[in-house]
Chain A
Amino acid sequence: MAIKIKLFANFRDGRGKIVEMDYTPGMTGQDVIDDLGITAPEIAAVIVDGVDGKVDAMLAVPIKEDGYIAIFPPVAGG
């Protein structure tokens, strides 16, 4: 099984829009970003399987077996 990693804005540079990663039980967003070479301070927002929250907390949440994580750098507008 694989999980889906959705990347946005400059996180796509050199990585693409969506990256698939083999699922290992208990894997978290922290494992994902370590693998992608992204550090937590670069991240502004994280959604794990449809749930958002503070970045540090969300990076510690286990991702579901067929789940996804969405990772955003600082973006804004209005």
Chain B
Amino acid sequence: MFGYMGKILRVNLTTNAITTEDLDFELAKKYIGGRGLGTKLYMDEVDPKIDPFAAENKIVIINGPLSGTATPTGGRYMVVTKSPLTGCIASSNSGGEWGAYLKYAGYDAVIIEGKASLPVYINIDEEKVEILPALDVWGKLVTEASDILREKQPGSKVMTIGPAGEKLSQMAAIMNENDRTAGRSGVGAVMGSKNLKAITVKGNLKPEIADAEALKAVTKECRALLKENGVTGGGLPTYGTAVLVNIINEHGVYPTNNFQGGVDPDAEAVSGETMTEKYLIKRNPCHHCPIGCGRWVKSEHSPDGIGGPEYETLWVFAGDLGINDMDVVIDANYWCNELGLDTISAGATLAAAMELYQRGFITDEILADDIALKFGNPESVVHWLKKMGNREGFGDLLARGSYRLADFFGVPEYSMSVKKQDIPAYDPRGIQGMGLQYATSNRGGCHVRGYLISPEILGLPEKLDRFDLAGKEVWAKAFQDLTAVIDSLGLCLFTSFAMGAQNYADMINEVLGTKWSADEVMLAGERIWNLEKLFNLEAGITKADDTLPPRLLNEPMPEGPTKGWVHKLDELLPLYYKERGWDEDGIPTEERLKKLGLL
């Protein structure tokens, strides 16, 4: 079996049973790995109606066939489970090194089931797999817990949850290598619900490659493409994703004060240019990554610096809160990482809380005269993040995310979310295709399920009119399907700024010994998208959930280059369903499912 290690590890935390199973190679090829195969393995074993926190729920942690190979960025892994935030399928991706190390330990996936009676961690060292007590790290922040576990298991990579996951915040993340995050959809809380603090992993095994020489040549070609490309060889390495602050703001789609506005005159203070000039110490790349968008920045938390914020984090703790202070953002990012919180949802929840405060739903009395949750108040940010992560006082309500918070006050419309997951950093009123993708994303509000910012704003691979609806359903489907492939291979999405379906097909073919065309690769992506959709339908998600916050549909953007626009979802959604071969209620037709091999 080429590419894969051929083994799945199963750990039952109720019975302490640890077993391994052979990977079905045909099944693996059909769903590729990562997000696709993880969803298939999960769906074959778990009822979509399950309570995400039930002991019967499972977590599939899975790398891809290219993880741990020499291919660029092949170090990622995916966490698949049912989301406690959205009720949809959650597949949350992280970089760093952990995904590659799972492969070096000899496994394509770990399936975690049951619930431990006391806090535990799992140690994986090739064939030696143990469930070990974690009482000494339970309650600890991410860096401290990781340091302790690294000392106990020298040479291991550590993935862990923080206090937010232990306390079942629906926004809890899983952290690895301290500052890499499987951030979205509350996957950390599912780990916490199983009393599982961490997984340490190491090993020295390598996957067999079908044609190692040919892979070398293809990898060289792909690396050259990444190097020559202005984005992956220039903008991202030099400025990180933070370089987006200015370009998104200049287009008037940089949401401010919980999407009440779209332009921030002071955004420069948190821009990539400012970060590079004043805060950057060095790049902080993931495993085998020639791009190196990750930042290592100055901070009072460590003389050596700490992991720096991404664009979406900068936006949410700056523009979306009406604050423009890089130190506040770096601090907020640090605390989210330490508490194990998704920065996007945590920040967006603060933004929703601030709007509820602005409109008189949250009062000083409700906050027991604690620091006011007021737009523009920098002191409120880390103060309330800590309370959120530790579920203290009003922080307990914040820990449930913006939708549940706003719904508690009877005004869910102030949550800028789709399927209860916050939408990030790009106002869909001025990016019609992106709005369609937000509304139809299988894991709720999310920018990395189909990054239409590329063609609509950044001009990649070509510039589209961002207000025009024509053809946006075709672009949305194509981007969503290709993204599903990349997420399943174990590679970073940012490679797609320089590479296309054929490049991915070439790498897969040399690793697996297949002869896939670019079209077959895209078909696999479509299969994965439809599989996720089937899960969501069975979980009770309907057409009514494929929508955007009412503000974005009804309130014209008040200012800037997007002034006067709303999102025209009602026109785009039927076109999208049709493009996908779904019926008018957004249900995949029998014909399409047969074509995809899902029936």
Interface residues in chain A, defined as those with a beta carbon under 8 Å from any beta carbon in chain B: 6, 8-10, 12, 17, 42, 44-45, 47, 50-55, 70, 72-78
B273: chain A residues at CB < 8 Å are: 8-9, 12, 17
Contacts known (A9-B272, A9-B273, A53-B465); A77 close to B561, Cβ less than 8 A: no
A50 engages B243 (CB within 8 Å): no
Return the chain A residue nearest B424 by Cβ. A78
9 further A-B pairs in the complex, CB-CB below 8 A; given A8-B273, A17-B273, A77-B494: A44-B459, A52-B561, A53-B465, A70-B250, A72-B246, A75-B236, A76-B497, A77-B243, A77-B311
A45: chain B residues at CB < 8 Å are: 247, 457-459, 463
Return the chain A residue nearest B426 by Cβ. A78
B230 engages A73 (CB within 8 Å): yes
Does B466 make an interface contact (CB < 8 A)?
yes
B244: chain A residues at CB < 8 Å are: 75-78
Return the chain B residue nearest A68 by Cβ. B250
Return the chain A residue nearest B268 by Cβ. A17
In whole angstroms, how far apart are the Cα atoms of A42 and B230 in the complex?
8
Interface size on B, residues (CB 8 A): 42
A77 engages B236 (CB within 8 Å): yes
Return the chain B residue nearest A6 by Cβ. B250
Instruction: Describe A's contact surface by its main secondary structure.
Output: mixed
Does B427 make an interface contact (CB < 8 A)?
no
Return the chain A residue nearest B310 by Cβ. A77
In whole angstroms, how far apart are the Cα atoms of A6 and B247 in the complex?
11
A78 engages B250 (CB within 8 Å): no
Q: Mark B221-254, 1 if CB is under 8 A from A, else 0.
A: 0000000011100111011111110110011100
Contacts known (A9-B235, A47-B251, A50-B252); A74 close to B230, Cβ less than 8 A: yes
Q: Select the residue from A6, A55, A72 with max chain B CB neighbours within 10 A.
A: A72
Contacts known (A50-B252, A55-B463); A75 close to B239, Cβ less than 8 A: yes
B462: chain A residues at CB < 8 Å are: 54
A29: min CB distance to chain B, Å = 14
In whole angstroms, how far apart are the Cα atoms of A54 and B293 in the complex?
26
Instruction: Describe B's contact surface by its main secondary structure.
Output: helix
A47 engages B561 (CB within 8 Å): yes
B399: min CB distance to chain A, Å = 26
In whole angstroms, how far apart are the Cα atoms of A76 and B472 in the complex?
20
In whole angstroms, how far apart are the Cα atoms of A47 and B235 in the complex?
19
In whole angstroms, how far apart are the Cα atoms of A55 and B230 in the complex?
15
B497: chain A residues at CB < 8 Å are: 76
For window 77-102 of chain B, which residues contact chain A by CB distance below 8 Å?
none
A75 engages B463 (CB within 8 Å): no
Does B451 make an interface contact (CB < 8 A)?
yes
Query: Which residue in B231, B240, B251 is a CB contact (below 8 Å) of A74?
Result: B231
B459: chain A residues at CB < 8 Å are: 44-45, 54-55
A46: min CB distance to chain B, Å = 9
B560 engages A76 (CB within 8 Å): no
A17: chain B residues at CB < 8 Å are: 268, 273
B344: min CB distance to chain A, Å = 12
In the complex, 15 of the A-B residue pairs with CB atoms within 8 angstroms, ordered by the A residue number, are A6-B250, A8-B243, A45-B457, A45-B463, A47-B251, A52-B463, A53-B463, A54-B463, A55-B459, A72-B247, A73-B230, A76-B460, A77-B236, A77-B310, A78-B448
Q: Mark B305-338, 1 if CB is under 8 A from A, else 0.
A: 0000011000000000000000000000000000
Does B453 make an interface contact (CB < 8 A)?
yes
In whole angstroms, how far apart are the Cα atoms of A54 and B460 in the complex?
11
Q: Select the residue from B247, B250, B251, B462 with max chain A CB neighbours within 10 A.
A: B247
For window 519-550 of chain B, which residues contact chain A by CB distance below 8 Å?
none
In whole angstroms, how far apart are the Cα atoms of A21 and B462 in the complex?
30
B342: min CB distance to chain A, Å = 15
Q: Select the residue from A6, A52, A55 with max chain B CB neighbours within 10 A.
A: A52
Return the chain A residue nearest B560 by Cβ. A50
A55: chain B residues at CB < 8 Å are: 459, 463
B448: chain A residues at CB < 8 Å are: 78
B451 engages A78 (CB within 8 Å): yes
A78 engages B241 (CB within 8 Å): yes
Query: Which residue in A52, A53, A70, A75 is a CB contact (below 8 Å) of B235?
Result: A75
In whole angstroms, how far apart are the Cα atoms of A6 and B493 in the complex?
29
A50: chain B residues at CB < 8 Å are: 252, 560-561
Q: Select the residue from A17, A47, A51, A78 with max chain B CB neighbours within 10 A.
A: A78
In whole angstroms, how far apart are the Cα atoms of A53 and B493 in the complex?
25
Return the chain B residue nearest A76 by Cβ. B231
In whole angstroms, how far apart are the Cα atoms of A9 and B560 in the complex?
22
Q: Select the residue from A44, A47, A76 with max chain B CB neighbours within 10 A.
A: A76
In whole angstroms, how far apart are the Cα atoms of A35 and B15 in the complex?
73
Return the chain A residue nearest B241 by Cβ. A77
A77: chain B residues at CB < 8 Å are: 236, 240-244, 293, 310-311, 494
A44 engages B458 (CB within 8 Å): yes
In whole angstroms, how far apart are the Cα atoms of A42 and B231 in the complex?
11
Q: Mark B504-520, 1 if CB is under 8 A from A, else 0.
A: 00000000000000000
In whole angstroms, how far apart are the Cα atoms of A8 and B504 in the complex?
32
Return the chain B residue nearest A42 by Cβ. B230
Return the chain A residue nearest B451 by Cβ. A78
B450: min CB distance to chain A, Å = 11
For window 329-387 of chain B, which residues contact chain A by CB distance below 8 Å?
none
B33: min CB distance to chain A, Å = 21
B251 engages A52 (CB within 8 Å): yes
Return the chain B residue nearest A50 by Cβ. B561
In whole angstroms, how far apart are the Cα atoms of A42 and B458 in the complex?
13
Does B502 make an interface contact (CB < 8 A)?
no
In whole angstroms, how far apart are the Cα atoms of A9 and B240 in the complex?
11
A12: chain B residues at CB < 8 Å are: 273
Contacts known (A10-B234, A12-B273, A45-B247); A78 close to B493, Cβ less than 8 A: yes
In whole angstroms, how far apart are the Cα atoms of A33 and B367 in the complex?
54
A8: chain B residues at CB < 8 Å are: 243, 246-247, 273
B238 engages A9 (CB within 8 Å): yes
A75: chain B residues at CB < 8 Å are: 231, 235-236, 239, 243-244, 247, 272, 458
